[in-house]
Amino acid sequence: MNNRYPLVIISTDGTYFLIRHVKEEDRVGLESFFSALSETERWLSRINTADSKTRKPWFDGTQEEQCIPFVAQDMNDQVIAAYALLERHASPCLAHIAHVRIMVAPGYRARGLGSRMIIELSDLASCMGIEKVVAEFAGDMEEVAIKAALRLNFVKQATLKDYIKDSGGGFHDLVIMVKTIGPCPGDF
């Protein structure tokens, strides 16, 4: 599983990125990454980005089988351009499912980086025996991400009306999308 990374990819604009597991030295870089996101994006991230304890398992490996964090680092500027998380269920009845969460820094959007991270997480999940990957979106706030997921063979499974509450108290729909994945790419 880990011998695939680090992995160098090229975005649509020709920028080289190193996709790799989060490491101890990323603490400061991740602080900068999360602080560059809008208040709304941080609110919707499903993690308390202001609390370093939330990210502690990323660095100490205590949840390595259930929670695998990645970054995409701009190889020229050496900054974290994207963050991704693959979360696997511990329960045996849900062990075939994993959730993906991806966030791309504002200056790196519209380059295909988020899509490439989804592909990488799906491939990794497949190699771990995962059969379905789930992604969730705030319907009216993440329309671009939903369109990208559709292009990557995710299917809308449900829309929960007025399910997400924003920082101002307004409600938004939660769109749940699922992708059925095939065998590990290395199995061919």
Structure-token pair, residue 49: 């980005």
Q: Specify the pLDDT at position 54.
A: 55
Q: Specify the pLDDT at position 38.
A: 83
Reading the chain (188 residues) residue by residue, the pLDDT tens digits are: 457 789 999 999 999 999 998 888 888 888 888 888 888 888 777 666 655 565 555 555 545 567 888 999 999 999 999 999 999 888 889 989 999 999 999 999 999 999 999 998 999 899 989 999 999 999 888 898 899 999 999 999 999 999 998 888 899 999 999 999 988 876 55
Q: Specify the pLDDT at position 89.
A: 81
**DSSP per-residue letters across 8-71:** EEE-TTS-EEEEEE--GGGHHHHHHHHHTS-HHHHHHTSS-TT-HHHHHHHHH-TTTTTEEEEE
Question: Residue 117: enclosing H or E segment and its boundaries?
Answer: helix 113-127
Q: Specify the pLDDT at position 105.
A: 93
Q: Specify the pLDDT at position 1.
A: 47
Q: Specify the pLDDT at position 75.
A: 95
Going by the DSSP 8-state scheme, the letter that residue 112 receives in this structure is S
> Other CB atoms closer than 10 Å to residue 13's CB: what's the count?
10
Backbone angles phi, psi at 50, to 5 degrees: -80, -15
pTM exceeding 0.75: yes
CB 145 within 8 A of CB 136: no
Domains of the chain: 2-187 (3.40.630.30)
